[in-house]
């Protein structure tokens, strides 16, 4: 990309994401049923797109995924549309 969006626009993106995803919130993955805790929100350096860092509660590994993919609905094994990550609760 080379040139980033203006700082005000980057901040605006982060504020919008933080309305949807809260640090400490817990989610369950639709396929593997692992539980994950939101670790942090970030902007991808290469394209300024918001991403979410989330930690597997079983093994501690931290993953990163674009926010729109984290929040999207996808077909399950029965072709029923489900959340990729199902919200299961807030911070303890």
Q: Which of 43, 67, 64, 66 is nearest to 54 (CA)?
A: 64
CB atoms within 10 A of CB 2: 4
**In Å, how far are 11, 28, 68 from 16, measured between CA atoms?**
9, 22, 12
Q: For residue range 28-55, what is the model confidence (pLDDT) as tens digits?
A: 999 999 999 999 999 998 888 999 999 9
Residues of the chain above pLDDT 90, percent = 74
**Domain-wise residue ranges, the chain:** 7-89
Res. 7 pLDDT band, cuts 50 70 90: confident
Please state the pTM of the whole predicted model.
0.86
Q: What is the mean predicted confidence (pLDDT) over 67-81? A: 95
Task: Note the pLDDT of residue 3.
Answer: 82
List, as one string, the DSSP characters of 2-69: -SPPPHHHHHHHHHHHHHH--TT-EEEETTT--EEEEEEEEE-TTT--EEEEEEETTT--EEEEEHHH
Class of domain 7-89 (CATH, top level): mainly beta
């Amino acid at each position: 990309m080379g040139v980033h969006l203006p700082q005000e626009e980057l901040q605006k993106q982060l504020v919008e994401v933080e309305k949807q995803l809260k640090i400490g919130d817990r989610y369950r993955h639709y396929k593997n049923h692992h539980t994950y805790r939101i670790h942090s929100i970030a902007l991808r350096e290469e394209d300024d797109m918001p991403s979410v860092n989330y930690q597997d509660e079983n093994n501690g590994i931290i993953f990163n995924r674009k926010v729109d993919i984290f929040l999207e609905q996808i077909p399950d094994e029965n072709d029923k549309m489900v959340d990729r990550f199902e919200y299961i609760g807030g911070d303890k």
